[in-house]
Amino acid sequence: MKSLWKISRRYIWSAIVITVFVININMLVFAGGMLKLAGSDSGQEGDISRSLMEEINSSLRQEDGVWKLTDEGLQELEESSFVWAMLLDEHGTIAWSYELPEELNRHYSIADVSVFSRWYLADYPVRTWRKGDRLMVYGMGKGDKVRINVIYRLALMEKLPEIVKYFVLLNLLLLFALALFFAYRFYRSIRPIAQGIDSLAAKQPARVPQKGLTAELAVRLNEASRHLQEQDGKLAKRDMARTEWIAGVSHDIRTPLTLITGYADELAANPALGEEERKKAGQIQEAALVIGQLIADLNLTSKLEYQTQPLRMTSFFPAGLLRECVAEYYNQGIGDSYEIEVEIAAETEQIQCCGDTGLLLRAFRNLIGNSIRHNPDGCVVNVRLSAWEDGVEYLFTDSGLGIPERVVRVLREEEEKSAVGGGNAAWRKEDGKPEACEQNPIHVMGLRLAKQIVKAHGWMFEFERRESGTYDVRIAVCNHDSTSVSSEISG
Amino acid sequence: MNIYNCKILLVDDNRELAEMTADILRKSGYETVVTAYSCLEGMEAFRREKPELAILDIMLPDGDGFTLFRRMREVSALPILFLSARDEDNDRLFGLGLGADDYVTKPFLPQELVLRVNAILKRSYFRNQEGARASGVIELSGRRISLENATVEYQGETTALTAKELLLLKKLYANRGNVVTFDAICQAVWNDSYYGYENSLMVHIRHLREKIEEDPSHPKWILTARGIGYRLAKES
């Protein structure tokens, strides 16, 4: 309805602007005409004007009982639109004439004069002008001019301003009604198109009726929708194939990795081998376990990226979850050179959120594990939990190096490219090589996974810059329900 | 009989891996480990050997481990552990949901597998012995704590533990050497979340320390993991 009002408003404004424009043009033309006419007498054209008749009248003089027109008067008469002229004396007899047509009488009664002075004389339009006791009659060519005599009632003329007022008001109402009508018609015709576009935006197929004013548009929209659906289908198929492929490879690699781990463990415990060999066997075992973890991460990151990882949402205490994660680390043994500090604000103890605790524990493990792995000489990992809006925020910091800027840059670029449909190739450069292959390798898997897990919950994952130029991680967990944004026009 | 006398059936289609895993179990003390490489062989071995524990791979050439699990459970309640290269949460949950005793993904640490097998067997066949141990007696710096009687004996004097103190100590003792979070303790003692019990928990810990520690201000046994929980130290 909001859109209907918008369209109506626009239509009404357009109607008002057009009306004002047309009225102005008319007024200009009318004023121009009036000005032109004002230059002449009685609003008549120059060649039959009052002044011309006066001048001719004054040029007609009686000399020795005979009426004569001066040469100037004759010239003016010839140049005018009058084709003939006559002077009637007080008895109605012609005292003087100029080019008088044969068919005309030579004598006129008062009744004749009364009639032709208002209408025509033998179909000649005429004008009359008093010359003393006489009457000068000027005749124009037959069919040359039209003569109109109008008489209005005075009462009507007195009411004219009011009539004009109502007339204008009615016209405005009509204008308004017509504008609304056309606006509604337009709104109705584009509504299916708008709904179709909404469907496209929501990745739903658009089926717009192909009729009416927008039939051609509807055909194109339906076609575009069909193409998009086909493309979406192909993309989903490709993504699914890729995820399944990674899951398959991950599965196939695990069996040989188990053999490597098992045999390396056996060798590491074999007293018949030297110290060096046993140490190397231990390293092989550790490396195999790292590969195993990387494969698991790769599998999960691919599923999160293509949204095939279901979230098992349960209610949890963010403070309790953090303690569980840190306790796990201590119980597994983290080495004497490491310490994990936990600072939990008292007010967060009662806050409950909803999330996949298994995945969240994995994200926290990755973040704490990163601090431990990248600070081989030891460090203090600090995790702070504080209240934030109607949820909580975790801040993961450490006394060590922090997250390097280029790691943060790679993850941010990934996010930007992924937002414009770059997919999981976002971390690759234009030449197709991953950035990690340039200079020193960048290991972003653990961080990426943590970020993906947090983002999959719709929460905030941010890098906070330290003074040293490296970064810490802040996770803001909100309890908001996501609200669907409905399109305005489809309402 | 002890847990190492238990017969273990291992079903995995990868012969090399099956033999390696069997070796790991044998070297850790298990006397009888039988291997099979398919559902059919696994079922035959199950009927023939009557194992105390089965370790099943999920992807087998003639079926899947889940089906084999169901068929075994139709005739026996033996404990079963899934050992799979499938790390999907769905598989793990499905397996555990069926009633499996544990689910281990490949690659695994040999020691971890052995510990898990030990735990399952103890839980399944030696619960009474374990229970007796759990409700038995703890010696801490000359103090004799009876979990059964909820008493602490020291130099001829006997001090009683309250019900909450006993529950608290049992929880710590069950996880001895590990940090137990405030949340896990509150769940065990009050069957509730930590929120609201912060002070109560501290008070109970203080009282417990007064009863079992030499110097409660500098505890030697019930140690605090700051901000996380408490840990009952192992005997040195």
- Count CA within 13 A, CB hemisphere, residue B225: 25
Q: What does the pLDDT average to over A467-474? A: 93
**Is the per-residue pLDDT at A252 higher than 60?**
yes
Instruction: Kindly report the number of other CB atoms within 10 A of residue A134's CB atom.
Output: 18
In whole angstroms, give the CA distance from residue A447 to residue A210.
50
**Is the per-residue pLDDT at A334 higher than 90?**
no
| Chain B contact probe: residue of A258, A293, A349 with most B CBs at under 10 A | A258
Task: Specify the range with the lowest mean pLDDT, choosing from A187-191, A220-224, B27-31.
Answer: A187-191
User: What are the C-alpha distances in Å from A203 to residues A194, A214, A227, A488, B75?
Assistant: 14, 22, 12, 17, 52
Q: What is the pLDDT of residues A277-318, one digit of tens each?
A: 999 999 998 888 888 888 888 888 888 888 778 888 899 999
**Is the per-residue pLDDT at A489 higher than 50?**
no
**Is the per-residue pLDDT at A483 higher than 60?**
no
pLDDT at A363: 94
Q: Where are the domains of chain A?
A: 42-140, 310-477
Please answer yes or no on whether B85 and A341 come within 8 Å at the CB atom: no
Nearest of A468, A304, A293 to residue A366 by alpha carbon: A293
Q: What is the pLDDT of residues A265-278, one digit of tens each?
A: 989 988 899 999 99
- For residue A209, name the pLDDT band (cuts at 50, 70, 90): confident
Please answer yes or no on whether B23 and A266 come within 8 Å at the CB atom: yes
In whole angstroms, give the CA distance from residue A253 to residue A218.
52
- Look over chain A and give the mean of its residue pLDDT values, rounded to a whole number: 84
Copy the structure tokens of residue A6.
């918008």
Q: A366: helix, coil or strand?
A: helix
Q: A430: helix, coil or strand?
A: coil
Interface of chain B toward chain A, CB-CB under 8 angstroms? 14, 16-17, 20-21, 23-24, 27, 59, 85-90, 105-111, 178-184, 193-196, 198, 225-229
- For residue B131, name the pLDDT band (cuts at 50, 70, 90): low
pLDDT at A251: 83
Task: Specify the range with the lowest mean pLDDT, choosing from A32-36, A49-53, A239-243, A406-410.
Answer: A32-36
- For residue A429, name the pLDDT band (cuts at 50, 70, 90): very low
pLDDT at A455: 92
Q: What is the pLDDT of residues A73-123, one digit of tens each?
A: 999 888 888 999 999 998 999 999 999 998 898 899 999 999 888 889 989
Please answer yes or no on whether B229 and A327 come within 8 Å at the CB atom: yes
**Is the per-residue pLDDT at A31 higher than 60?**
yes
Q: Where are the domains of chain B?
A: 3-129, 135-232
Please answer yes or no on whether A342 and B105 come within 8 Å at the CB atom: no
Please answer yes or no on whether B225 and A330 come within 8 Å at the CB atom: yes
Nearest of A415, A400, A401, A429 to residue A460 by alpha carbon: A415
- For residue A202, name the pLDDT band (cuts at 50, 70, 90): confident
Model-level ipTM above the cut of 0.90: no
**Is the per-residue pLDDT at A437 higher than 80?**
no
Q: Which of the two residues, A145 and A181, has the higher pLDDT score?
A: A181
pLDDT at B130: 56
Please answer yes or no on whether A350 and B195 come within 8 Å at the CB atom: yes
Q: What does the pLDDT average to over A435-460? A: 78
Q: Kindly compute the dihedral angle of the four CA atoms of residues B201, B205, B211, B214, in this order, to the nearest 10 degrees.
A: -170
% of chain A at pLDDT higher than 70: 90
**Is the per-residue pLDDT at B50 higher than 50?**
yes
pLDDT at B134: 55
Q: B3-129 belongs to which CATH class?
A: alpha beta
**Is the per-residue pLDDT at A201 higher than 60?**
yes
Please answer yes or no on whether B107 and A257 come within 8 Å at the CB atom: yes
Please answer yes or no on whether B110 and A289 come within 8 Å at the CB atom: no
Interface of chain A toward chain B, CB-CB under 8 angstroms? 247, 250-252, 254-255, 257-263, 265-266, 288-289, 292, 296, 299, 310, 312, 317, 319-320, 323-324, 326-327, 330-331, 341-344, 346, 349-350, 358
**Is the per-residue pLDDT at B2 higher than 90?**
no
A354/chain B closest Cα distance in angstroms: 16
Q: φ, ψ for residue A397 (rounded to 5)?
A: -130, 170
Q: If you measure CA to CA, which chain B residue comes closest to A327? A: B179
Q: φ, ψ for residue A205 (rounded to 5)?
A: -65, 140
Q: What does the pLDDT average to over B59-63? A: 90
pLDDT at A426: 38
Burial class, B143, CB count within 10 angstroms (exposed 0-12 / middle 13-18 / buried 19+): middle
Burial class, A5, CB count within 10 angstroms (exposed 0-12 / middle 13-18 / buried 19+): exposed
**Is the per-residue pLDDT at A431 higher than 50?**
no
CB B181 within 8 A of CB A331: no
**Which residues of B fall within a CB distance of 8 Å from A247?**
88
Q: Which fold has domain A310-477?
A: Heat Shock Protein 90 (3.30.565)
| Chain A contact probe: residue of B195, B197, B201, B232 with most A CBs at under 10 A | B195
**Which residues of A fall within a CB distance of 8 Å from B184?**
324
CA-based radius of gyration for chain B: 22
Nearest of B123, B139, B111 to residue B52 by alpha carbon: B123
- Name the residue facing B86 among A251, A260, A262 (closest C-beta): A251
B199/chain A closest Cα distance in angstroms: 12
| β-pair partners for A382 | A341, A397
**Is the per-residue pLDDT at B129 higher than 70?**
no
- Look over chain B and give the mean of its residue pLDDT values, rounded to a whole number: 90
Copy the structure tokens of residue B226.
């700051």
A351/chain B closest Cα distance in angstroms: 9
Please answer yes or no on whether A341 and B109 come within 8 Å at the CB atom: no
Q: What is the CATH number of domain B135-232?
A: 1.10.10.10
pLDDT at A38: 58
- For residue A441, name the pLDDT band (cuts at 50, 70, 90): low
pLDDT at A206: 84
**Which residues of B fall within a CB distance of 8 Å from A316?**
none
Sequence-distant contacts of A336-339: CB under 8 A, at least 24 apart:
A336/A378, A337/A377, A337/A378, A337/A379, A338/A372, A338/A378, A338/A379, A338/A380, A338/A381, A339/A380, A339/A381
Q: Of the ranges A177-186, A301-310, A315-324, which is most confident?
A: A315-324
pLDDT at B133: 56
Q: What is the pLDDT of residues A212-251, one digit of tens each?
A: 777 888 888 899 989 988 988 888 888 888 888 888 888 8
- Distance in angstroms between the alpha carbons of the first and the last residue of chain A: 6
